[in-house]
Amino acid sequence: MSTTSQPAPPRQYRKPLVRVLQVAVHLGALLPLVWLFYAIPRGALGGDPVKELIHFLGLGALRLLLLTLLVSPLARGLGFGQLIRLRRPLGLWCFAWACLHFATWLSLDLAFAWGLIGDELVKRTYILLGFSAWLILAVLALTSFPALVRRLGRRWKTLHSLIYPALLLVCVHFWWSLKSGWIEPAIYLSLALGLLWFRRRLLPWPRKLPATSKP
């Protein structure tokens, strides 16, 4: 992974390789959703798939978020700058999964009982954390169109640094949402902290994010 060896593929293959990887990202994020259509009626998520479906979608969104944040260290480490083209589709797919996760909770679990939904959003801190992360992702998704990216210029980068607090919010949301067991959320949190560690010098507010420097 050292920057001097630059194990990136030969120059002429890079562009087609990025294309292939882009297609892989789209398929990788889409196919599990297609799979759900066939698997749920066949009982793959159990007799009552609602809770499992929410969990499946939430965990998928978290994984996509981690992958999104893996892109730039990987591009830098491999000296393969064009990999950065994977970042936007990964981020947008992460938002799509997060939307489905949120929408499933609203519709299939709480049945659009808005009074209850409002109460739960305010009363349950872990839901509030997840909701805040979703709002951040929404802002980032809406400002990811190339035209807006150009117009925002330098401010785009600052705005999109919000992805780091969002990542931590999601990890805590996941941990807190579980009835028991800590090993799985701890693995995800360490992966997240690892990704933040790569960027410790680049973070715009290193002193304001004590959680990243603790371990």
Partner 1 sequence: MLIKSLTRGEAGENQVTPEDVYLNRRRFLQGLGAGTALAATGSQAGLLDFLSPSAPQTPATGAAPRAPLRYQAGKLESGLILTPEEKATNHNNYYEFGTDKTDPARNSQGLKTEPWTLRVEGEVAKPGTVDIGELIGSAALEERIYRMRCVEAWSMVIPWVGLELGKFLKRFEPTSKARYVAFETLYDPEQMPGQRSSFVGGGIDYPYVEGLRMDEAMHPLTLLSLGIYGQTLPPQNGAPVRLVVPWKYGFKGIKSIVSIRLLEKMPPTSWNLLAPQEYGFYANVNPEVDHPRWSQASERFIGPGGLLDVKRQPTLAFNGYGEQVASLYAGMNLRKFF
From CA 121, how far away is CA 140, in angstroms rounded?
21
- Decide: is 147 part of the binding site for partner 1 (CB under 8 A): no
- Decide: is 46 part of the binding site for partner 1 (CB under 8 A): yes
Distance set, CA 25 to CA 91, 92, 132, 143, 144 (Å): 11, 11, 26, 20, 17
Minimum CB distance to partner 1 smaller for 36 or for 138: 36
From CA 12, how far away is CA 152, in angstroms rounded?
33
- Decide: is 184 part of the binding site for partner 1 (CB under 8 A): yes
* Residue 73, C-beta contacts closer than 8 angstroms, at least 6 positions apart: 195, 198, 199
The alpha carbon dihedral of 187, 193, 197, 202 has a sign of positive
Distance of CA 202 to the CA centre of its chain: 19
- Decide: is 7 part of the binding site for partner 1 (CB under 8 A): no
Residues 106 and 117: beta-carbon distance below 8 Å:
yes
Among 48, 147, 150, 207, binds partner 1 (CB under 8 A): 48
Among 17, 21, 33, 45, binds partner 1 (CB under 8 A): 45
- Decide: is 32 part of the binding site for partner 1 (CB under 8 A): no
- Find the binding residues for partner 1 in span 80-109 (CB under 8 A): 107-109
Minimum CB distance to partner 1 smaller for 1 or for 111: 111
Among 7, 16, 41, 118, binds partner 1 (CB under 8 A): 41
Among 120, 143, 161, 191, binds partner 1 (CB under 8 A): 120
Q: Which stretch binds partner 1 (CB under 8 A): 17-25, 123-131, 148-156, 159-167?
A: 123-131
Among 124, 143, 162, 175, binds partner 1 (CB under 8 A): 124
Q: State which H helix or E strand residue 171 sits in.
A: helix 163-177
From CA 183, how far away is CA 187, in angstroms rounded?
6
Minimum CB distance to partner 1 smaller for 4 or for 48: 48
From CA 71, how far away is CA 98, in angstroms rounded?
19
In the complex, least distance from residue 174 CB atom to partner 1, rounded to whole angstroms: 13
> Contact residues for partner 1 (CB under 8 A)?
37-38, 40-53, 107-111, 113, 116, 119-120, 123-124, 126, 176-177, 179-184
